[in-house]
Structure 1
Amino acid sequence: MQSSNVQVDSTAGKYVPPHLRNTGDDERKAELEKLKRNVKGLVNRLSEPNMASISGQLEELYMSCSRKDMNDTLTEVLLAACVTPALMPDRLLMEHVLLISVLHHTVGIEVGAHFLETVVRKFDEVYKIPSESKECDNLVAIVGYLYNFQVVHSVLIFDILKLFVGAFTEKDVELVLFVLRNVGFALRKDDALALKELISEGQRKASNVGSKFHDQNRVRFMLETMLALKNNDMRKIPGYDPEPVERLKKLQRTLIHRSAGGSDMKLRVSLDNLLAAEQVGRWWIVGSSWSGAPMISEQGNANSKQSTAEGQFSAKVLELARKQRMNTEVRRNIFCVIMTSEDYLDAFEKLLRMGLKDKQEREIVHVLMDCCLQEKTFNAYYAVLGEKFCSQDRRFQMTFQFNLWDKFRELSSLPSSTFNNLVQLVTRFLQKKCLSLSILKVIEFGELDKPTVRFLRQVLTKLLKETEPEDLASIFGRISGIPKLGMLREGLKLFISHFLLKNAQSQGPAEQAAMLSERAQVATKAMEAKEAKLKL
């Protein structure tokens, strides 16, 4: 019975996370030592040619071991290799940071976030104690390369530069030069205004304090470098060579091309946020826990046990999520992000940063569709967000397709507002070419019921009337010449002639009927285009 009490605090009945259980156990220490040897062996063999192999093996370790143990071990091994009293070669630092960047995109943002936070904490400690050691330079270089390889946003780099310019000692001037030489032109591209303000502040400091320095050349060199950046003149910076970074960036793009994380997974976090993470929590990691004292001060208080969503979102939004039957934490978080984002790009970035995989990732489409269809009137926000996901990766297109097929089977039972929203959403996706007309292949044109006829009539009429002829040719041309879609093409041609054109001539104005007939001909010709070529 004694051993079973290790995992649960018997007095308070509290759950104890796996990494806090059996902390003195020899078996666990042996496991961690073995893990450290494995990771160290892989990192020691790391080089540009075998980057894919090493990152793949580390991904496998992430799958088979605790993520916390892996993050701690990998960070410890990398810092031991990169942060020494001597200045490390740029190539070595770049390769090690590239490895973190690849894992950040393929495994999850918590890999880069943990490494970044550890590096920044270490930098804060070393920076406060002046010494001749080059540890501080190495740590600053690591942060710079994390920015170069898309792990962190420029906000952090500007915070560090402002810290150096504010203190403006000889060591600070040296570090400013070091940072600007490594990432100055990238900063100019990302935020030219912020760089301009920083340069102005640096020039003011140099005129006020620079005369007190023993070595005036260093200050002069810093000002020349700043001026070269301001004028976008790379030649004026001695030793500046962007080629090694660009070559590794190209390698990075090939290694993370198929990752599920998306293109923008940069951590938009400030220096103060990182240093105060233990006090205010890690908001930049979706789903991270926080054990700050105010939340655990009362052991018996059930209200203090908040889920991730409850800590991030207002009670009003959470109540709305409950009413919409968002019954799992993943669905709740997705719903709250969609509802509280500033715009569709903000929502897209936040949803990607959640780092969802496979089945959980498909929930994004399910929740998005659910929100869109439950609105009283159609809201284009959901459609635009859906378009963004479709353009991001084909797997989102497939999830939307399967979701729409489910809705097509339920047309007869859909409320009027939901039916209208579905018509608008499908038409929009077809117009923007997010989805192909092949989504209609599941509809049996020989056995159409009234709701399906109404749905197809509304979608096709809207598509023909509101789309330019050139775009129509492109939309209908996508299903041309594909043998498997022959039945769909014949079904659409028959439906357009029988249900659309006959009704239009008898019901609407002559001009509308003429335009519809003209557009229908464009659509029919587009569907037959490749077939005609094949016959020739």
Structure 2
Amino acid sequence: METQKENDADGGNKAKKQQTTTASGESAEITGMELLKSKTGGAYIPPAKLRLLQRDIKDKQSIEYQRIAWEALKKSINGLINKVNVSNIAIIVRELFKENVIRGKGLLARSMIQAQSASPTFTHVYAALVSVINSKFPQIGELIIKRLILQFRRGYRRNDKPICLSATRFLAHLVNQEVAHEVVALELLTLLLENTTNDSVEVAVGFLKECGMKLIELSPRGVHAIFERLRSILHEGNLDKRVQYMIEVMFAIRKDGFKDHPSKIDELDLIEESEQYTHLITLDEPVDPEDKLNVFRFDPDFEENEEKYKAIRKDILDDDGTDDDDEEEDEEEEDEEDEEDEEKEGAILDSTETNLIALRRTIYLTIQSSLDFEECAHKLLKLELKTDQIVELCHMIIDCCAQQRTYFKFFGLLAQRFCVLNQEYVEPFEVIFKNCYDTIHRFETNKLRNVSKLFAHLLFTDAIPWTVLSHIKLNEDDTTSSSRVFIKILFQELNAYMGTIKLNERIKDPTLQEAFEGLFPRDNPRNTRFAINFFTSIGLGALTDELREHLQNMPKTIPLPIVNATEIRSSSNSVSGDEKDGDESESASSSSESLSSPKHKKRKPKHESRSRSPDSKRLKRDKENHRKNEGRHQSKEKEKDKTKGREKHTERDDHRERDRNRHKHRKHSSERRKSSERRKSLERNDKHDKHRNRSRSRDRDSHSRRSSKSSSSRHRKHYH
């Protein structure tokens, strides 16, 4: 220490001499070199002046050049460690590896411990940085653990609680990162709880709070023993109330499973367990802090060692050690091309759809964690989805909307925002609309309502074109009850958004007539009536005014053009009557001849032979043609009547079934009523019969008594 003070004093005097001397530039250079010759580095030299000195010295084997390189290394390591945080730790690691950390491992360990003690809240960040460095250079991680153990021993002997707290906290996070072995943690806790004081218990509780989750994972029995010791200390009651309360809080944290004190966060889980080196250094083991690594030492093989480290750095950072950005970009492009070629050659198909499930989970969590649709759209756009993933995003928006109990405008606004921002989202929503309509019968009522309202919002805002409605065919054959409910909710929502007048104008738009051909059919009067009745039943009959006019002005279907059908029928009837008479006469004559009985002999009328003329044959032919035409016309009318009668038949069947059920119910009720009346009448008759029998028995008894009295009186008279 005295030599260092003397060197500092000498350096200060030389610096003063350097400031006062205004001689030539050579004298200034000599003074600067003398400043660098001191053991501790001398006075502060500005970076610009340090670079000038380094540029002037060209001999890398000289002590002056190595001293300047040492100072630059120290400043670079200190600056990088002071800048590290959770977000930039990967960048800082790469920058550190660009420096010769093997030469400056003492500087790195000292800077790391000093930075951690100055800002304990960033201890987990420094521990993660140490874990990354330890995976490549285990001797650096071992050196940091040794110095922390020595620091804890020194603080424990001096009863210096701040030093013990900072050292134990750093060790706890190194245990979490698996740089230090769990045996170190258990030994430290045992030592602190052996001779209990308020400070030792406080340090032990703080240490256990930081690494308790990891210790339970690695050594549950050891943690159980530590907590039993804390329980006994709490029952003894020799500590302050504040410390006792800390122990109780520790038990509560253990009960919650260290939920608020995780071993390491996901952002700092940088190294795989297989790549990590875990150091087992006990508290009683003699360790060497290697303080000589903190100061400059001349290296006769400086250039050779630098070249070796460049090779190591190249292996670590996958570069050639140069700072040429163009070369790095070219190498990155070549690596990407090689990777693409490898992927094309040996592409692996993921049949389990793990990536798809992970994407859906990410989208779902993003939607659920967003306050409004703008925030959600911003987060989802940050994912930078590929073309095939855009379709999955559209499906997820529809699915999330369908799963809600009621419709939330959030999903409609979100889908609208994506369609407006990028036209790539419009086509997937059109395809989803068609697929949903085709499979709408599989949807529950709640899902059907939410989906139809979402598409109504997209149509109202023109996020998707109205031409998608051409997929809907509104008639009795092509629709189901579910699809009609979907159309009903869709148009009712459009009417609520736009109003009847604007909606009617949109329907009458000549550029959209092809889209509404299926919804407002004009090809068949039956379909036209069905559409009119449908929109009238849902309260939107005003949309069918033109359809009603078209139906009224539509030419009616006329049967086959038959002129004077009644006359032809009458003439045909007369002709048929004549033919019947002729047939009867012929049959009569034939029968008379065969039977040769005088009763059946009749003369043939004179006009019979005249009726067998060409006119009668023509009339007969016309009659047959007329019958055929009438049969065809009647068959068509029967088919129409059948189609109309089916609906009436179903209604009649329903009414008949209802009447039958009512009749059965009335019959059963009347039978029950009659049976109850019969039962009551029988009970009444039984009561009446019992009463009558009782009265008769009473009369008999009274009569027998009277007769006995009369006989006794007669007997007495006769005796007298």
Q: Same fold (TM over 0.5)?
A: no
TM bin, normalised by shorter chain, reads 0.3 to 0.5
The one of the two structures with greater contact order (alpha-carbon pairs below 8 A, sep at least 6) is 1
Larger radius of gyration between Structure 1 and Structure 2 = 2
The TM-score with structure 2 as length reference comes to 0.33
The TM-score with structure 1 as length reference comes to 0.41
